[in-house]
């Protein structure tokens, strides 16, 4: 069966450290993968997109990797800040649809 | 100006009632979506419209009926509400990149959500 799995447990880190979130998938062949941020009571907000032929993408303190062999994407936030605390969702493309993982809640402590 | 706006933000109703949620986008996008987010935070696609035409219709009970009067509006009507319909419903929009994915990518802009509670 098709699955997208993100760390189900919340990730707690200290301010200034690098947060690494994982997205694994099975039985999908996505042309691209996206990461979104969701704050409580709000809709998801797009952060980054990486295509199947790209290994790595960066945007300011954010970095995404995409390994189609391992069927995994890693999302890194360097020099994390309390304002980075939120739920992060990965989403992959399949047949014109965007399929979301269940998200990982990140908490950055001062 | 809110890019994707949904109304109402909160909706509390009794089982068996019929309710509607409205969505409007001012981004000039041609594709709109309804997603459902349950208590476990899974976001599941329900419907998608491109230029008023239904292009994605997931396995959703036919008590749910979307309507798109024009490409800037997508409404969701739910008949005979059940307890299990309680969730947050998100509207989203994007530029259409084709169902094969193509070389483009469907980057979604979401509304703030409509929390439906069925008692």
- B109 contacts chain A (CB < 8 A): yes
Lowest mean pLDDT across A26-35, A45-54, B53-62, B96-105: B96-105
Q: What is the pLDDT of residues A44-89, one digit of tens each?
A: 999 999 998 999 999 999 999 999 999 999 999 999 999 999 999 9
Q: What is the pLDDT of residue B97?
A: 64
Residues of chain B in contact with residue A29, where contact means CB-CB under 8 angstroms, are none
How many residues belong to chain B?
119
Lowest mean pLDDT across A81-95, B11-25, B94-108: B94-108
- Confidence class for position B101, pLDDT limits 50, 70, 90: very low
- A43 contacts chain B (CB < 8 A): yes
- Confidence class for position B98, pLDDT limits 50, 70, 90: low
Residue A83 backbone class (left: φ over 0; alpha: ψ -120 to 50; beta: rest): alpha
Q: What single string gives the DSSP state of each residue in B37-97?
A: E-TT--EEEEEEEETTEEEEE-S--TTEEEEEEETTEEEEEE-S--GGG-EEEEEEEE---
Residues of chain A in contact with residue B90, where contact means CB-CB under 8 angstroms, are 43-44
- Who contacts B53 (Cβ-Cβ below 8 Å, separation ≥6)? none
Tell me which of A96, A104, A106 to substitute to probe the interface with B (most B C-beta atoms closer than 10 Å): A96
Q: Is the pLDDT of residue B84 over 80?
A: yes
Interval B98-116 mean pLDDT: 78
CB contact under 8 A, B108 and A31: no
Q: Which two tokens stand for residue A8?
A: 């189900």
CB contact under 8 A, A93 and B106: yes
> Are B33 and A96 within 8 A, CB to CB?
no
Q: What is the pLDDT of residue B56?
A: 86
Nearest by CB to B107, which of A49, A99, A103? A49
Interval B98-109 mean pLDDT: 67
């Amino acid at each position: 069966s098709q699955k997208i799995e993100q760390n189900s447990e919340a990730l707690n880190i200290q301010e200034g450290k690098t947060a690494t979130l994982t997205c694994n998938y099975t039985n999908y062949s996505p042309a691209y993968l996206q990461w979104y941020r969701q704050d409580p009571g709000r809709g998801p907000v797009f952060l980054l997109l990486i295509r199947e032929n790209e290994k790595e993408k960066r945007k300011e303190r954010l970095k995404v990797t995409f390994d189609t062999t391992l069927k995994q994407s890693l999302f890194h936030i360097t020099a994390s800040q309390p304002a980075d605390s939120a739920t992060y969702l990965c989403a992959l493309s399949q047949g014109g649809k965007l399929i979301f993982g269940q998200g990982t809640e990140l908490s950055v402590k001062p | 100006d809110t890019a994707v706006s949904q109304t109402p933000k909160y909706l509390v109703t009794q089982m068996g009632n019929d309710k509607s949620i409205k969505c409007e986008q001012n981004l000039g996008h041609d594709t709109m979506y309804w997603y459902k987010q349950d208590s476990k935070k899974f976001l599941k696609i329900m419907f998608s419209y491109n230029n008023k035409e239904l292009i994605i219709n997931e396995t959703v009970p036919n008590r749910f009926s979307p309507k798109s009067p024009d490409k800037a509006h997508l409404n969701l009507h739910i008949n005979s509400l059940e307890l299990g319909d309680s969730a947050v419903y998100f509207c989203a929009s994007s530029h259409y990149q084709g169902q094969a994915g193509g070389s483009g990518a469907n980057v979604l802009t979401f509304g703030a959500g409509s929390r439906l509670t069925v008692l």
